[in-house]
Structure 1
Amino acid sequence: MKTKFFSIILTCFVISSVFSQSSINSYKYIIVPERFDFLKEKDQYQINSLTQFLFNKYGFEAVIQGSDYPEDLIGNRCLALNSDVTKESGVFKTKLKIELRDCNDKIVFTSKIGESREKEFKVAYNLAIRDAFRSIEALNYKYEPNENITSLNTTSKSQANAEVSEEIKQLKKEIQNLKKEKEVVNEVTKPKVGTPKVAKPKAKTVVQSKVSETPVIQGVSNVLYAQAIGNGFQLVDSSPKVIYRIKHTNLKDVFLVEGNSAVIYKKGNDWVIEYYSGNTLEQETLNIKF
């Protein structure tokens, strides 16, 4: 009886292990955050760098969050698993656990708890991480493209193309409206023969009402921090206050500004926002930290 029960448990474990490995193999990349929640600073004790190194060591392609992503990952974020390392409570031991989540924030894999009895944080974290990575090593990871995931690339590109086309149409429409408004204002303010100069205040009133309807984009001189959202990023200042929401396009380092007729793109080492003020194309440099 005991032997039969043990056999059932062993069979379930093997099936679970194979299923986990199969699902892990469907993902091409691992995204490692710049800082784990149990640490106070980015890459403190080089734990985040070590995590990236160990993922690469065991066959994965790991990238640090906010770095330059490969083209296929930019087009399809679901190709990657988001990694996290959490600290478990322990009196005499340092205990760390690795979690992998998909693009829908669903947990795909959880490692065994890595432990260390060392008292110095740098040594203890290092040893506990390496101990937890034994579970990752045991997966024998090898990337195997999954149509259910890779097909999202085509879908996301189509959606991005549709969004870009719609934004371009909207930009053209707004530019045409601005030209018409300017023509109306010029026509009203143009002096006519026999028309008394008293009519000038009306022209001034028309200009003010038209200008107030045109969206105004103000440059930002302080640092803006990029926070990932569903289809792009939101740029916040140190308050934190959301200054812009920007959307991905099919072009690298080019974003559409939500709610404004503007684009943000990388020019050399600088980020530039470009928009129309009347019929004049304006450019301003932004200090963005991704």
Structure 2
Amino acid sequence: MKKVLLTLILMLSFASFSQNINDYQYVIVPKKFDSFKEEDKHGLNTSVKLLLQKYGFKAYFSDDSFFDGNVGNRCDFLTAGLVDDSGLMVTKVRVVLKDCKGNIVYQTELGRSREKQYSIAYSQALREAAKSFETLNYKYNGNIAVAAAAEPKPVVKVIDTKTDTATVNSNEVFFFAQPTANGYQVIDNEPKVIMRLYNTSQKNVFMADKNGVNGTVLIKEGQWVFEYYDNGKLVSEPINLKF
């Protein structure tokens, strides 16, 4: 009987979470989480934004031009946070979504990682925590309307030897480089690590490891490319990187 009652309580709590979270469409992601001293430490802010977008939210950084006079009530938005409950041996994080009064509307389970390298550990722990969104079944119900002009089309900055910005086709796939101790790890929008870059003595030239394939990532004619040898033949693959 006690087990049945406990299960019922958990189901009601989950239903309450789902009901409240579905009232919100937009989420503000700060450029720096309270647990860290630097902006986008370990690429976590970017990763949280991408994860929220993956699961149906319209997530924007706090300094995004979307907020320049186009929105109404601040309480129409949720704000994302990252709780860092890491210990000496285990990295532990959870994503928290709060309303304008600071009340927790939704929080994920704790994600854990025993990886020793911090940037990898936080990425793994965040991905595990994000699994909670898969069972949330979030779907905006339209209860809160944000008075906004037409949403801006995304403009993505791409490092280029000739110009530092470029407007790109929305169908293009972009990858994000997150700093590590000796270079970068490249993630997709899962976010999943698909490549590791290692610094060299030359600017914009990196040694690269993509799933065991070793090569070089560099800029050619304004385009990032991954070059490697396949059966003695030089292969050059374009890659859209955002640092």
TM-score under structure 2 normalisation?
0.57
Matched, 1:97 2:75: no
SS of the aligned residue for 2:112 comes to strand
Instruction: Report the residue type matching 1:22 in the other structure.
Output: Q
1:29/1:114 CA distance change after superposition, 3 Å: same
SS of the aligned residue for 1:54 comes to helix
Distance 1:86 1:64 in 2: 18
Q: CA deviation at 1:71?
A: 7.9
Matched, 1:131 2:122: no
Aligned residue runs from structure 1 range 116-127, under 5 A: 116-127=113-124
CA contact (8 A) 1:31 1:64 kept: yes
Which portions of structure 1, spanning 4 or more consecutive aligned residues, are displaced by more than 6 angstroms? none
Paired residue for 1:7? Answer: 4
Q: CA deviation at 1:90?
A: 1.4
Q: CA deviation at 1:44?
A: 2.0
Aligned residue runs from structure 1 range 249-268, under 5 A: none
Specify which structure has the higher proportion of strand: 2
Greater relative contact order, per chain length (Cα 8 Å cut-off, separation 6+): 2
Q: CA deviation at 1:70?
A: 5.7
Distance 2:3 2:111 in 1: 26
* Matched-pair identity in %: 36
1:51/1:11 CA distance change after superposition, 3 Å: same
Q: CA deviation at 1:121?
A: 0.9
Matched, 1:55 2:76: no
Instruction: Report the residue type matching 1:75 in the other structure.
Output: G
Which segments of 5 or more consecutive residues in structure 2 lack a partner in the other structure? 148-243
Higher Cα Rg: structure 1 or 2?
Answer: 1
Distance 1:67 1:102 in 2: 19
Q: CA deviation at 1:72?
A: 9.1
Q: What are the superposed Cα offsets for residues 78-110 of structure 1, whole Å, 9 maximum, x if unpaired?
A: 221101002114121001121111011111112
Distance 1:70 1:14 in 2: 36
CA contact (8 A) 1:36 1:48 kept: yes
Matched, 1:87 2:84: yes
Distance 1:122 1:96 in 2: 13
Bigger mean CA deviation after superposition, 27-36 or 39-48? 39-48
Matched, 1:114 2:131: no
SS of the aligned residue for 2:79 comes to strand
CA RMSD of aligned residues (A): 2.1
Matched, 1:19 2:32: no
Paired residue for 2:42? Answer: 45
Aligned length: 148
Distance 1:63 1:121 in 2: 25
Distance 1:72 1:116 in 2: 41
Instruction: Report the residue type matching 2:59 in the other structure.
Output: A
CA contact (8 A) 1:59 1:142 kept: yes
1:71/1:145 CA distance change after superposition, 3 Å: farther
SS of the aligned residue for 1:118 comes to coil
Select 2:30's aligned residue among 11, 30, 33: 33
CA contact (8 A) 1:73 1:79 kept: no
CA contact (8 A) 2:86 2:93 kept: no
Paired residue for 1:67? Answer: 64
1:134/1:72 CA distance change after superposition, 3 Å: farther
CA contact (8 A) 1:95 1:116 kept: yes
Distance 1:96 1:88 in 2: 6
1:62/1:128 CA distance change after superposition, 3 Å: same
Select 1:78's aligned residue among 75, 78, 84: 75
TM-score under structure 1 normalisation?
0.48
